[in-house]
């Protein structure tokens, strides 16, 4: 081994879902939105002058911060933006979790939390979800250096009621509590209102799922201005020009069309409820998701076998090999047509292979 090789930072990276490059796949593996972004976004994209690339972007992300502040009824000083919520979350980890005490998060949740904790040397303790994959607020009432959980949780889709979220936040006023609301627009109730009451609460959301803009990389956080100021200080100590100009402009534009957003989100919720029925009829079980995906398990057919069979048919879903998840597949809610194709395949496959009479 060469001397310098010894000093390479040892990390265990996050493994993102596959992005197949083939054209004709049904892509239900990374929780993207099956509908295009708001029409105004497309229009602005075509009108955009390449001269905007010549200059650095606004490091304060002013237009987007203002649009978000208006949309969510907070002041601009209470909004932080970043390159997807992954960037926002990484910045928050770096900013807030420096006490040396363990960060708490559920054993089944977004697998990136462990990765950032590893990268930044933050000790952590996972809290075991109950038999039905529910978060137990009492598990978060012990000494800690911070708390983070997704709500709805991923990959279960389960939503934790707001009074339980408040219970956790109010019991931990000496720590920063982050609620990762990547999927909140699909029927859950946001903890945003609680940020007025608790200065230790940071709510993080993204344009990647409900706003159909995963490829633009736009995420944001809302919380007390002391939290936001601290995150900005870290950001400006690392990379001041995080968001590129097109993302800033197109993200701002997306926020103008509330009606389109609501329609797209309700279509997905409708398809989700219909898909629950179809999965049920085929014998699958699943937690009652409030997100744009379902975490399904079949009593007879092993998840990995089904994952491979689906992939062969160019239907991509997500399979996690980890212990508590290995019996499940996470299936993104696509368009009604995509889901119909999925269920047509499943019905035949389960019958032909003796998993179903
Ligand atoms: C998708 C997702 C994110 C990250 O999304 P970005 O594309 O980086 O905004 C964060 N948390 C959870 C729970 C997610 O599912």
CB of 228 closer than 8 Å to CB of 36: no
- What phi and psi, each to the nearest 5 degrees, are found at residue 340? -60, -40
- In the numeric block, the tokens 């000790």 are attached to 123
What integer pLDDT is reported at residue 352 of this predicted model?
A: 95
- Rounded to the nearest 10°, the torsion over CA 328, 333, 338, 341 is 30
- Quick: pLDDT tens for 258-311: 999 999 999 999 999 999 999 999 999 999 999 999 999 999 999 999 999 999
134-142: Cβ within 8 A, 24+ apart: 134/158, 134/160, 135/106, 135/160, 135/164, 137/164, 137/167, 137/168, 137/171, 139/104, 140/104, 140/168, 140/171, 140/172, 141/168, 141/171, 141/172, 142/104
What integer pLDDT is reported at residue 96 of this predicted model?
A: 98
- Quick: pLDDT tens for 311-347: 999 999 999 988 889 999 999 999 999 999 999 999 9
What integer pLDDT is reported at residue 19 of this predicted model?
A: 86
- The share of the chain scoring above pLDDT 70, in percent, equals 100
Which residue's CA lies nearest to atom 15 of ligand 1?
182
Cβ of 219 less than 6 Å from ligand 1: yes
pLDDT for residue 203 is more than 80: yes
Whose CA is closest to 83, among 239, 293, 210?
A: 239
CB of 275 closer than 8 Å to CB of 333: yes
**DSSP 8-state symbol, 209:** S
Cβ of 32 less than 6 Å from ligand 1: no
- In the numeric block, the tokens 């975490």 are attached to 295
- Quick: pLDDT tens for 80-94: 999 999 999 999 999
- Quick: pLDDT tens for 122-135: 999 999 999 999 99
User: How far is ligand 1, taken at its centre, from the CA of residue 131, in Å?
Assistant: 25
Identify the weakest region by mean pLDDT among 22-36, 184-198, 212-226. Answer: 22-36
């Amino acid at each position: 081994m060469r001397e310098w090789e010894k000093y390479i930072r040892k990390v265990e990276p996050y493994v993102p879902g596959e992005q197949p490059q083939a054209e004709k796949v049904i892509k239900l593996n990374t929780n993207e939105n099956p509908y295009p972004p708001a029409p105004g976004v497309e229009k602005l994209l075509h009108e955009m002058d390449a001269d905007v690339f010549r200059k650095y972007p606004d490091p304060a992300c002013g237009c987007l911060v203002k649009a978000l502040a208006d949309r969510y009824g907070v002041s601009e000083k209470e909004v932080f933006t970043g390159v997807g919520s992954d960037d926002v979350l990484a910045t928050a980890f770096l900013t807030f979790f420096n006490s040396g005490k363990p960060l708490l998060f559920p054993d089944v949740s977004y697998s990136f939390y462990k990765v950032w904790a590893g990268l930044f040397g933050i000790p952590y303790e996972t809290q075991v979800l109950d038999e039905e994959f529910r978060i137990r607020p009492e598990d978060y009432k012990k000494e800690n250096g911070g708390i983070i959980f997704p709500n709805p949780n991923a990959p279960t889709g389960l939503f934790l009621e707001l009074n339980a979220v408040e219970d956790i936040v109010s019991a931990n006023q000496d720590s920063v509590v982050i609620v990762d609301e990547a999927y909140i627009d699909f029927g859950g109730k946001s903890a945003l209102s609680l940020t007025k009451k608790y200065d230790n609460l940071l709510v993080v959301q993204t344009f990647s799922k409900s706003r159909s803009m995963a490829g633009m990389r736009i995420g944001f956080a809302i919380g007390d201005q002391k939290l936001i100021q601290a995150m900005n200080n870290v950001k400006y100590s690392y990379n001041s020009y995080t968001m590129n100009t097109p993302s800033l402009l197109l993200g701002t534009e997306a926020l103008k069309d509330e009606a389109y957003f609501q329609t797209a989100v309700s279509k997905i919720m409708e398809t989700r409820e219909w898909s629950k029925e179809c999965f049920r009829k085929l014998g699958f079980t699943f937690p009652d998701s409030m997100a744009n995906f379902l975490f399904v398990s079949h009593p007879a057919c092993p998840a990995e076998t089904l994952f491979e069979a689906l992939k062969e048919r160019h239907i991509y879903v997500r399979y996690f090999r980890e212990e508590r998840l290995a019996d499940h597949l996470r299936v993104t809610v696509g368009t009604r047509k995509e889901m119909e194709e999925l269920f047509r395949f499943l019905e035949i496959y389960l019958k032909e292979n003796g998993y179903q009479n």
